[in-house]
Structure 1
Amino acid sequence: MRPELVPVQFRLPEEVIPVLKHTLDLLKQHYAVHFVEAGTDGLIISDATDADIRISEDFIRAWITRDFHHQNLMTEEPLIHCEDGIPDHLGTCAYMVNFLQEYVDDADCFDELDRFRFVKSYQYRFDCATDNLVLQYLVTLVDQCPKLNTLRRKIVPNQIWPSHDIDQLFHTGWPILKTAIKNGRFSEIRQALVSFSTDPDRPIFENIININRRYATNATFFWLASQKIYHNKHHSTIANANYDIRAPKIRSLMEEIRTNNFELGVHQSLGCEDLGQERDLIGDFVSINRNHYLAGKLPQLWHQLEKTGISGDATAGFSEVIGFRNSYGIPIQPFDPLRNHAYSVMEYPLHIMDATLMKKYPDPADAFKEIDLFLKKNKTDCQLSILWHNNYFTDIKYPGWGKLYEEVLRKCFIGYGNQA
């Protein structure tokens, strides 16, 4: 499909133009279009009432002053408006997709691991975490603009990207046996006793690999390279890895993963002092990171990744709910408001995590209902990221959760028109 050339003219303060250009280019993901700068003609983007695309004074002011509190920009809905009530779809998309609500200094907006708290987000305020609002607003912008509404829409089927954070290994059969005895089921006890003569972790990884191969996924396995105990700001201790990344067993598991054409990533540890060193302990070929516990502030993380030479990240998800942390379903290079250009890092936001659902639903069947609703709501134009930890594939300790992962992949593969 040959793209249509659309000349564009920005009539706005110079400092606000780069982020709006960056955001306007998102339309290329969904329409056959290519934008070129125009001298005096073409699509006019400005704050004037006769503009083809209106930008609100509120967005311009927020960008220039770096005051990104959503309470100052959105009133009755998750949408920025011009002074006369006209929606500012492009400014809103720029605000949402680039995680600008997280560029705040308020300490109460972040938890003990420096994660942006869901309850402080516009997604919580307007109950819209599962809505792909950026896509909705881009489509509305095109439909309502006479100079764009003839653009041809691309057919963009969903892609599913599974990943597995390797936080803990079992090492021995004791944890599984304790659960089996607690459950009081003889068959489970017998199965757990058998695991004492074998490595309980290898069958788990073989199962994960086989499931991902069955559905032809491009799965990534994130490994911790530090065993240091972390002390958070509340003086609580949190574990990093309970395994040595250099141990022969671990190297063997990683090699098996790579042999099956899956990717390895670094799972930056809590309290990490040298991300480059952690990356190199896994392999200098590693090009993607996800922070342990999804910890840390995103802007600082992206700066760190740039300095380390890691080109991809998969940290940007809410730990409390499933859905979109930046109201968009496709990976992006976030725009840095401080340097006024895009980061070199590609962010692959996280949408569905097993640990989030386990806190809410004791029964995996109930968790599946919520996942099913989310997937039915977002059938196209997404690369949906699904995180399932390795230890949740143990049916004795976490009954049904490994099967739930496979059921989600199966439904994505055959039931929603998605591509694995």
Structure 2
Amino acid sequence: MITFHINDSVRAFEAEIRYTLGLWAINQSHEIAFSPFRENSIVVGTQSEAHLRLGLRFPTPGEPATRSPYVQMDGTASDRFDHLTDPLASAFQMVNALQEYDAPEYDELNRYQFKTSYQKRLNNVYDNLVQKCFESISSKLKLPLKSTPTRFFLSHDIDIVYGAILEDGNNVIRKGRFDLFFKMLFNLAIARPEWLNMDKIMALESEYDCKSIFFWIVNKGRINSREENADYTFHSRPIQRHFDAVARQGFENGLHKSISSESFREELTKFGNAAYANRYHFLKFRLPDAWHDVESGGLKLDASLGFSAEMGFRNSYGLPFNPYDFKERRPFSFVEAPLNVMDRTFFQYKKQTAAEARVDIFDFFERNRNNCVLSVLWHNNFFTDHKFKGYVALYKDILAYISDNKFRTISAREITQHYTISP
């Protein structure tokens, strides 16, 4: 047990200090306690004699940029991370993605943009910077550094199941493969469309001893010219047959929060099962409102914190965590498992071939072989090889990488069991 004493110089930020040290304890596999007494305790404060010396104050939303050794509340960051002097406050700011609170501009879907982030400006979106903060704290306290092999959190957002006849169909017709097109028509007629393929995905993953989670949308139809919910009816017999098969085979189902105006509780009622986890459709959310919505919905895990336009760490951290509730000055009860790698990032935003995406993805994996839970999203429609040529083979390569390197996949429930902060 490691005991900390928070002295009077930083007492105003005791809740934030306890929270951040709690994240550090999970990261470094320590048990910690807090004591009102200095004797035999690690002193946290601003004075030079403190064992863990902090800056003048912790940041809070709505205030101007405060003294900070790295990230500031206006979304800027120091160009020199290696001059870090206050790792605790820096970790607190980055892990909670505070640069996104009241951001100056959003994209056409009302989302925070990668192009406005400090990760873009400083070219460090692939870097697990919070890990470096936590290791710096351990080094300052002369504690051994803890390193654990990376694990993988695999997921599939089920947006479209009937679209293959149009998207893949157009592709095969242009190639003169009318035989394939008529096969698609036949499969559609017997309620087995090409992209209703959860059984094939699970069979593939099982070959490599991997498990995943499937996120489903309960609302159907187009919202506007840019945005559409599911093209399927969630409670229809074909969908429910696959939904039930996922659970029977030891995989997981979750809610893919639609872009409709309904609350989580309304959509969870439609879901009809005790949904454990969520990911926002289109990754359409804004902080901090989204985290309050997830909390009020009673969910245990959210898996949305990733950039659509770029791979990497949206909050500069490689592990799941409980976000911080500034209103209550305590951690939210749910765990956020940030999204790191998504197929659409490469195909839609970066316009890369599967071969080009493969180079970037495996470079990212190699840079983060330890101290991460890497979240990989592969949509069900990327498992056919007509429109999305090479992407199913790329996913097989990812599964082989996990297996060959003796990494393991981790479930949503395992994430919450291991990464929920101690009260």
TM > 0.5 between the two? yes
- RMSD, aligned CA: 2.2
Between the aligned partners of 1:22 and 1:221, the Cα distance in structure 2 is 31
Task: Select which of 223, 226, 244 maps to 1:230.
Answer: 223
Map of 1:181 onto structure 2? 173
Query: Residues 218, 182 of structure 1: CA spacing in aligned structure 2 closer, same or farther, 3 A cutoff?
Result: same
What is the DSSP-based 3-state SS (H/G/I as helix, E as strand, rest coil) of the residue aligned with 1:384? strand
What is the DSSP-based 3-state SS (H/G/I as helix, E as strand, rest coil) of the residue aligned with 2:347? helix
Judge conservation of contact 1:45–1:53 (CA < 8 Å) in 2.
yes
Map of 1:56 onto structure 2? 55
Q: How does 1:59-98 map to 2 (within 5 A)?
A: 59-60=57-58, 62-63=59-60, 66-67=63-64, 69-71=72-74, 74-78=77-81, 87-98=85-96
Deviations 1:178-213 (A, max 9, x none): 2102134x4xx3233223222233673222111222
Between the aligned partners of 2:113 and 2:395, the Cα distance in structure 1 is 26
Task: Select which of 314, 323, 330 maps to 2:319.
Answer: 330
Map of 1:419 onto structure 2? 408
- Residue 100 of structure 1 and its aligned partner are, at CA, apart by 1.5
What code does the residue aligned with 1:56 have?
Answer: G
What code does the residue aligned with 1:332 have?
Answer: F
Judge conservation of contact 2:219–2:260 (CA < 8 Å) in 1.
no
- Residue 271 of structure 1 and its aligned partner are, at CA, apart by 2.6
What code does the residue aligned with 1:249 have?
Answer: P
Q: How does 1:381-420 map to 2 (within 5 A)?
A: 381-415=371-405, 417-420=406-409
Task: Select which of 148, 151, 158 maps to 2:150.
Answer: 158
Judge conservation of contact 1:298–1:316 (CA < 8 Å) in 2.
no
Map of 1:128 onto structure 2? 124
- Unaligned residue ranges in structure 1 (runs of 5+): none
Map of 1:270 onto structure 2? 259
Map of 1:295 onto structure 2? 284
- Residue 174 of structure 1 and its aligned partner are, at CA, apart by 4.7
Between the aligned partners of 1:138 and 1:159, the Cα distance in structure 2 is 19
What code does the residue aligned with 1:367 have?
Answer: A
Query: Residues 171, 355 of structure 1: CA spacing in aligned structure 2 closer, same or farther, 3 A cutoff?
Result: closer
Query: Residues 174, 336 of structure 1: CA spacing in aligned structure 2 closer, same or farther, 3 A cutoff?
Result: closer
Q: How many residues align?
A: 396
Query: Residues 228, 171 of structure 1: CA spacing in aligned structure 2 closer, same or farther, 3 A cutoff?
Result: closer
Q: How does 1:190-269 map to 2 (within 5 A)?
A: 190-198=179-187, 199-201=192-194, 204-231=197-224, 236-269=225-258
Deviations 1:67-99 (A, max 9, x none): 4654587332357x7xxxx61111100111112
Query: Residues 71, 281 of structure 1: CA spacing in aligned structure 2 closer, same or farther, 3 A cutoff?
Result: closer
2:128 is the counterpart of 1:139: no
Query: Residues 228, 174 of structure 1: CA spacing in aligned structure 2 closer, same or farther, 3 A cutoff?
Result: closer
Task: Select which of 30, 34, 50 maps to 1:33.
Answer: 30
Kindly, what percent of the aligned residue pairs are identical? 28
What is the DSSP-based 3-state SS (H/G/I as helix, E as strand, rest coil) of the residue aligned with 2:288? helix
2:23 is the counterpart of 1:23: no
- Residue 313 of structure 1 and its aligned partner are, at CA, apart by 0.6
- Residue 407 of structure 1 and its aligned partner are, at CA, apart by 0.7
What is the DSSP-based 3-state SS (H/G/I as helix, E as strand, rest coil) of the residue aligned with 1:208? helix
- Residue 384 of structure 1 and its aligned partner are, at CA, apart by 0.7
Deviations 1:369-389 (A, max 9, x none): 000110000001111100011
Map of 1:311 onto structure 2? 300
Judge conservation of contact 1:70–1:122 (CA < 8 Å) in 2.
no
What code does the residue aligned with 1:74 have?
Answer: A
Query: Residues 107, 228 of structure 1: CA spacing in aligned structure 2 closer, same or farther, 3 A cutoff?
Result: farther
Question: What is the TM-score with the length of structure 1 in the denominator?
Answer: 0.88
Judge conservation of contact 1:268–1:291 (CA < 8 Å) in 2.
yes
Query: Residues 257, 22 of structure 1: CA spacing in aligned structure 2 closer, same or farther, 3 A cutoff?
Result: same
Between the aligned partners of 2:197 and 2:144, the Cα distance in structure 1 is 46
What is the DSSP-based 3-state SS (H/G/I as helix, E as strand, rest coil) of the residue aligned with 1:290? strand
What code does the residue aligned with 2:217 have?
Answer: L
Judge conservation of contact 2:209–2:403 (CA < 8 Å) in 1.
no
